[in-house]
Structure 1
Amino acid sequence: MAFEFPKQPYSGKIGTTTIGAGKGALTLGGEESYPFYVFEGKMPNPPKIAMEIWDYDPSKD
């Protein structure tokens, strides 16, 4: 018996945006599932931008 991931229903879709033009253009978005759930839906454009968000001020430690 093959293992099947339990799937979460998701009706949203991320729109696509293109930054730049020509060979250096970046196309972002287009996902049809939860972030990084490539086993549940399409992820036509892999991530190209990343950031880190702090929920506290680390300078106060």
Structure 2
Amino acid sequence: MMPPTLPASAADRLALQVQIEELQAELSGILCPAERRQIARELSSAKAAIDGLREDG
């Protein structure tokens, strides 16, 4: 039996929250400045996306 599906916005928020947590964890262990900048950009983008979903929902 398939689990009930979440509304798209709730599923999107969950996916973004997981992505943010993973990026934060990854960022804490990276020493290379270039790689840290790339991960920080991805983290910033994910945070902006989740903020946009909160404003819409």
The structure with the greater share of residues assigned to helix is: 2
Q: Which entry has the higher C-alpha Rg, 1 or 2?
A: 1
| Alignment TM-score > 0.5, same fold | no
Q: Which has the higher contact order (CA 8 A, sep 6+)?
A: 2
The structure with the greater share of residues assigned to strand is: 1
- Name the TM-score, length of structure 2 as normaliser: 0.25
- Name the TM-score, length of structure 1 as normaliser: 0.24
